[in-house]
Structure formats: C-alpha cells, structure tokens
Structure 1
Amino acid sequence: MSFLSRGSRPLLRLPSSKPAICAECRRRTFLSIAPFQSGHNKWSKIKHEKAAADAKKNVQRSFFTKHITLYSKLYGANPDDNPALATILATAKKAGVPKTTIEAAIARGQGRSSEGAVLDNLTFEAIVAPSVAVIIEVETDSKLRALQDLNVIIKRAKGATSTTKFLFSRVGRVVFEKEESTTSEDQEVVDLDRIMDDAIEAGAEDLENDDEGNIVVWTQPTQTTQVCRAIGEKFGLRAQSSDIVWAPNEDTKVAVDSSQDLNNFIEMLTHLRTYPDVQAVYTNIDKGDMTDEEWESIVEAQGAK
C-alpha cells in the first residue's frame, strides 16, 4: 500500500485490483452517521393520549359541578346542614376537582357567581346543519360575552341563530338514582310501584325507568322542585338531576345521515358542554340510521351539565 500525491491532497493506493481512493473522502465515509428519525409519530401518539385524558377529565368535572350545583340549589349551600352536598363534595375532592371549581358550583346553585355577582338566565336558539334545532340554557354574569362565545361555536358547526322553541315542549324532569338491591328482610328496593301514588299526589304526570334503571319522573315545570323534594325525602332517594327541560316534539325530530355532519355536530356539543356558563343543551336530533356507538356519543355529548 502506498500514497500518491495530487496537488496538496494525498491519495491512498489500494492493491492494484482496486482504484485509488482519496484518503480524506475515505475518512469522511467512516465518520458519517445516518440521520435520526424526527419522532413525530411518537409525539402524535402523546398528543392523542393527552387529548383523550383531558376529555375524560372534563366529563368527570362536569358530572361533579352538575351535582354540586343541584344539591346546593335544592338543600342549601352549607354542607353541615346538607348531607347530599357534603357527600358529593368529599367525592369531588378525592377526584381532584379544583377548589375554585367546587366553590363556583356551590355559588351557582345559589344563583351567584364565585365573585358574588347575580347570574342571569339566557336561552340561546340555533339551527345547525343539516337543519337540527338546538336550544342552549345558559347562566352567566355576562350575557354579551356568552352570546359572542356561543355564536362562534355555532358558526363553526355551520349553524346560525334561529327561533326553535316552537319545536319543543317545556316539561319538568326529575331523575332519581337506581337503588341497589338489599338483603335486608325489613327493607325493600324502592321502585316505580312504591313511589307512584306519592309521586302523582306531589304533582307527577308520568314515571318510567331509563336504560340504567334510574327512576324518571315527569311533571309540569312548576311542580319539578316540589316533586323532587317530596319523593326524595320520603323514600330516601338521591336525586341525580332535577331540571325543567325542552323535550322535542315527536313530529319535529331530524336524522343526521352525513358522517361529516355528525362529526361536526358531536364536536359542537362537546364544546358547548365544556363551556362554563352552559347548563344544558337540547336538540331534536333523531337516531335514524346511526349506530349504537354513534348515538351514545350524541347522548353523552348532549348531557346536561
């Protein structure tokens, strides 16, 4: 093996069967390293998992704020005098719900913001593609801000403000949590038959069980709170919700067939549900040809806060 010279750069001569190679080029070849992958796939996965975790956390907080507000409204803001409120507060704290969120929910049950300002009620109506009617119940300390924010959410879903109340009926609805079966001989599970007479006497117009076995009592709007207290206190039932709701008239329900429209609709409902001032969202959407999974997404996203 020998070196030749070409100007100032030496050439490395290999055995005669191979051509001469620049020594400097050969040295660079040995030192070269393949470029690293950017890792964007891993980051995408992390972002997806974080988004899913955040969505789950928002749903959980919505559940707690809804119940804290309800029990504060029904039985008072002092947990020492309100066992139902004390129980849900303890559970919310264990779940990591922030103190500010809890305090705001208690105050909202008393009709005030966390700063003590009186809250105003607002009903926002809209039509969203492909012609689904939407009613949004809002409690806010700034109507102007709430209207601006809701307009943005509706427009993103290709919707527009429009009168829709005539497509719905106003009714009272109280949902009592399903009682677990008991082995005690002197205590039986509270069901529809046991509470029916007392519920009707208190002002109920209809009773049923939902898909989870909870007891649902329908009544006139003005009788909602009275029925909730009377039945809950007499039979020791825990109220899951007590609302005056907008129920869509059967002949006005609309099906959503386009998958893109359905995705936009679910995204809109999710944004509305997590908006702090929104208390409930009602629509006249019909299941139509949706799969059970798609319909469950609608029901979950539309759930009152």
Structure 2
Amino acid sequence: MSYLFFPTRFIAPRPITSTICAQCRRSFSSNPMLLSGHNRWSKIKHEKGAADAKKNAQRSTFSKHLTLYSRLYGPDPNLNPQLSAVIAAAKKAGMPKASIDVAVARGQGKSSTGVGLESVTLEVMMSPSVAMVIDVETDNKQRALQELRTMIKRHKGTVTPTAFLFTRLGRIVLKGDGHEFDEVLMQALEAGAEDVEQDEGDDIIIWTQPNAMHQAVQNLGKALPTAEILSSEILWSPTADKIKIDDADTDAAAAIGNFLAALREYPDVQGIYANAERGTISEDAWSAIEDNLDT
C-alpha cells in the first residue's frame, strides 16, 4: 500500500473584529432607546422654550406696568400704592431687582443711573414680507442701534422703511370691573378719546391721537378715580391688510419668533409692532410670534 503526502499550508484565521464592530455600530446607531432619548430631549427643549417665552412675556408686562405707574403717580412706592403692588408681584414672580429699578426709572424718563433717555425707532422687514416697527428708549443711542442692527442681520432681517405701513395711535386700557361701559364711554369722550370699545375680557380700550393720550389719562384719572388703568401707550397700528402666516411659512415663522424673543430680551426695546396675523400656521408657532408683539 502506498501513501500520498501533500504539502500542508498554514492559513491564518480571517479577522472578524472589523465585521463585528461594523455590525455593532450599525446596531447601536438604530438603537430605539437612543431614538427615544433624542425625542425626549426635543420635547424638553420645546417645553423649555415655551416656558422661557412665557417668562419673557410676563416680565415685559411687569415692566410696562412699573413704568406706567411710575410715570402717572411717581417713583416712590411708599407714596404710590399701585406701583408698590406691581413691585411686590414682580418680585414674587422672580423678576430681578435691577430690572424693576430700570422700569421704574424709565417712567421718569431716565436710566437707572439717572441719565436721560433718548427715543429711537427701527424699521425692519422679515420674510415673508412682514413689516415691523421697533420702539427703543436708551441712554446710549449709538450703542443700542449698533447692537440691534447686528441682531437684525443675524436673524436675516433687513433695516428698511416700514413706518409708512402703520399709523400712530394712543391707547389706554381700563379694567372693566366695576364700571359700566356707557359711563366710561361718556367720560372718555369728554377726556379727549376718539373711540372706545370693549374687548372679550370686558376691559375697556380707549383710542386717542398720540399727542392727546397723556392728557386723556390725566382727565380719566380725575373723572374715574376708582378705575384701574392697565396700560397707556402710543403704538403703531397697521393701516393696510396684514400678512398672513401660513403652513408654507413655517421656517420663516420660526425665524420671526426667535427674532422677537431676542428683542424682548434686549432691555432698551419698549415696543414691537408687526403687520402679521395668523393664517393656517399651528397655534404653537403663532404663539411664539403673537406673545412677543405689542398689539
């Protein structure tokens, strides 16, 4: 019997590490737990953004009331019960003392350091053709304009004439509780009002010419001493049809909302007006815009 011998050849084992790792990587990237975490973080981010917007709107309201009552009845809370009540409510809501002091001083036409304030108006256009007017009061006009123009550019806006699309009006809002509309109507017309209406919450809105608003407030205070003045301001009202924000404008609406939120954070901005209105866009997306406008 004969035997055949064949030379043997050593074959190195094929490395499997890279294949396994690649599979692991693919498995890890589609792990449902990670996707769930991502969705949860998005939800948290959305909720935090909504909470921040609500806080900004609340502080803006406090600032307006502090400035209003300081201007009408004086800056000393010991002699001004309306101002004292708003200061207490603002502190309870967590509004910083420095912001309170700034708002009170603004009612006297000064900064918190006692420097006189200058009024500035910025006119802006945002996509999709939304015109804005921004009222500013500052103790440093050059600095404020530079910083705000940088902010506008960063949010894809354009500084361009838009005020011709608006008209200036004086608006006084009285709390409706305890006063009959007809009574307020007669007193308001005698005080210099051009129009009087009642909103859905029964508050009474009195419209005047801008140069007659301050005197109308003083006259109403004497004629209706128990009436609570909720606001008194000169605003910009659109004169033509407003621009509807629809579903197709979702990205533009988000950009406008982010821009308005940034403006609200800027301490010298006193009023923001736009010729925008809700079309088919979602309520949440529209709220991010509406909550930051003075209408």
Answer yes or no: same fold by TM over 0.5.
yes
Residue 167 of structure 2 corresponds to residue 195 of structure 1: no
> Is 1:250 matched up with 2:248?
no
Structure 2 CA distance, aligned partners of 1:209 and 1:295?
Answer: 24
Aligned letter for 1:92?
A
The Cα shift of 1:111 comes to 1.0
Q: Could you tell me which residue of structure 2 aligns to residue 3 of structure 1?
A: none
* Secondary structure of 2:272's aligned partner: strand
1:154 corresponds to = 152
Among 128, 137, 145, the alignment partner of 1:130 is: 128
Alignment correspondent of 1:289: 280
Taking a change above 3 Å as real, the CA distance of residues 170 and 48 of structure 1, as seen in their structure-2 partners, is closer
CA distance in 2, matches of 1:44, 1:285: 28
Aligned to 2:23: none
- Superposition map of 1:108-123 within 5 A: 108-123=106-121
1:129·1:157 contact (CA, 8 Å) conserved in 2?
A: no
1:69 to 64, 67, 71: 67
8 Å contact from structure 1 (residues 118, 141) kept in 2: yes
For residues 196 and 158 of structure 1, the distance between their equivalents in structure 2, rounded to whole angstroms, comes to 44
* SS of residue matched to 1:80: coil
Unaligned runs of 5+ in 2: 1-27
Structure 1's unaligned 5+ residue stretches are 1-34, 180-188
**Alignment match, 2:251:** 260
Q: Give deviations 1:141-189, integer Å, cap 9, x for gaps.
A: 111221122212322332211111111111111111231xxxxxxxxx3
Aligned to 1:31: none
Report deviation, 1:255.
2.2
What's the secondary structure of 1:153's corresponding residue? helix
With the length of structure 2 as denominator, give the TM-score of the two structures: 0.79
SS in structure 2 of the partner of residue 193 of structure 1:
helix
* Conservation of the 8 A alpha-carbon contact between 2:123 and 2:163: yes
1:271 to 262, 267, 275: 262
Distance in structure 2 (CA, Å) of the matches to 1:40 and 1:296: 27
Q: Which amino acid aligns with 1:261?
A: A
State the alpha-carbon separation in 2 of the partners of residues 114 and 176 from structure 1. 28
Q: In structure 2, what is the equivalent of residue 26 of structure 1?
A: none
Deviation at 1:245, TM superposition (A): 0.9
- The structure number with the bigger radius of gyration is 1
What is the distance in 2 between the residues matched to 1:204 and 1:61? 29
- Partner deviation per Cα, 1:258-290 (whole Å, 9 max, x = no partner): 111111112211211221100001111133334
Identical aligned pairs, as a percentage? Answer: 46
> What SS does the aligned partner of 1:123 have?
strand
What letter is aligned with 2:236? W
Shift of 1:54: 3.5
Report what 1:234 is aligned to.
223
1:217 aligns with 2:206: yes
Instruction: Classify 1:204/1:98 alpha carbon distance in 2 versus 1 (closer, same or farther; 3 Å).
Output: same
1:207 alignment partner, one of 181, 196, 208: 196
**Aligned mates of 1:58, 1:301 — CA distance in 2:** 8
- Cα distance in structure 2, aligned partners of 1:48 and 1:256: 20
Q: CA RMSD in A?
A: 2.4
> Separation in 1 of the partners of 2:109 and 2:216?
21
Note if contact 2:53-2:261 (Cα within 8 Å) is conserved in structure 1: no
Counterparts of residues 139-178 of structure 1 (less than 5 Å): 139-178=137-176
TM-score, with structure 1 as normaliser: 0.77
Deviation at 1:229, TM superposition (A): 2.7
With over 3 angstroms needed to count, the CA separation of the structure-2 counterparts of 1:94 and 1:52, relative to structure 1, is same
Q: Report the Cα distance in structure 2 between the residues aligned to 1:131 and 1:48, rounded to whole angstroms.
A: 27
